[in-house]
Copies of this chain bind each other. A is one copy, B any other.
């Protein structure tokens, strides 16, 4: 059972849009035990689409297609699919009714280009789109399935959940593939590999190990396959336990765990609260923390102090501290932490001050120099870090290290 993903759009080839749809579809198919053989990104061009369809049909049982379903002239996926499946376009009354209601509710006239979105290839099953005007299409041919969806991620994701995945589960007899991700930070890929070389050599043949390096972190993925869900799960659990025992201290979480979520759970369990005082990270840490639903239960807020004056006025950093040690110093982040805990009345805080770049570096404190403070007012820890990335990377690495160090602190105290 193999799948091909085809994403259609010149903007993907010109690099103006990053293809996030493929990763979303790949993740969802993997959960069903469907292996993606290939992802193809191609142009809004009839012959390119026809060629990709033919190629995918040869190699796969399931073909997921996104893009090119909009109301404008460069959107040609629908007519090309009708040609490929040798069928005609017919007006679908259900879609037309939904379109009319959609435009009426927004007090907007329905244009001809919108009305044409109710045209569907006669041989497909239309798939309802609740979030937009381009419905999906489900084609079957010699036991193989082709699905076409809009390229807007928000619409595609709803179509996948509500229509495509349930139908795929019913249509195909699926094998069992299971994954477990082990998330590490603070150790390089080759050092990890050296530590677990024996483990890797002795893996059963149906279990595979992969290394996925990220910014400041390495994800390990164990993949097991078989036919019986319980047997596969058990075999995977055994190997995961062996692996965890060997590299325990480098692991911060599993699968989709995110550092900021884990910190939220730790804070909730301890019934403690957090605030942040950010200079070089400029609100990035606050933003990461508050993307987690329910974060208002343990996170009280942040002061982004982008000037010396605001470090004094809002956080109580002393003039003489800034004069003697500078804004990027251990003394300043200590006072930032104390100040923000007081202002927000929290148990803990994280404070950052550094030079994100590209300007602002000196020979003493080059671009990438960062001071962190984290913990409670009476038990805070500090750390100096030096990064060599560009502005965005320096900000992201600072946030990652600040959250990881704070997580370890929460576990240790």
Show the binding face of A for B, using Cβ within 8 Å. 10-20, 22-30, 35-44, 48, 70-74, 108, 111, 113-114, 152, 154, 179, 181, 189-191, 193-194, 200, 208-213, 215, 219, 221, 223, 276, 278, 281-287, 289-291, 293-296, 299-307, 309-310, 313-314, 343-345, 357-359, 389, 391-393, 395
CB distance from A305 to the nearest CB of B (A): 5
Q: Tell whether, in the assembled complex, residue B38 and residue A15 are in contact, meaning their CB atoms are under 8 Å apart.
A: no
Bound-complex Cα distance A181 to B219 (A): 37
Bound-complex Cα distance A18 to B209 (A): 19
Bound-complex Cα distance A99 to B339 (A): 45
Query: Chain B residues near A303 (CB, 8 Å)?
Result: 301-304, 314
Bound-complex Cα distance A344 to B296 (A): 24
Bound-complex Cα distance A113 to B12 (A): 35
Residue of B nearest to A43 (CB): B37
Q: Tell whether, in the assembled complex, residue A212 and residue B11 are in contact, meaning their CB atoms are under 8 Å apart.
A: yes
Q: Tell whether, in the assembled complex, residue A300 and residue B310 are in contact, meaning their CB atoms are under 8 Å apart.
A: yes
Q: Could you jot down 17 A-B contacts, CB within 8 Å?
A: A12-B22, A13-B35, A15-B29, A37-B42, A71-B193, A111-B191, A154-B393, A281-B290, A282-B287, A282-B289, A282-B291, A282-B295, A283-B283, A299-B306, A300-B306, A301-B314, A302-B306
Query: Chain B residues near A221 (CB, 8 Å)?
Result: 10-11, 14, 16
Q: Tell whether, in the assembled complex, residue A189 and residue B72 are in contact, meaning their CB atoms are under 8 Å apart.
A: yes
CB distance from A211 to the nearest CB of B (A): 5
Query: Chain B residues near A223 (CB, 8 Å)?
Result: 10, 14
Bound-complex Cα distance A19 to B281 (A): 25
Query: Chain B residues near A212 (CB, 8 Å)?
Result: 11, 16-17
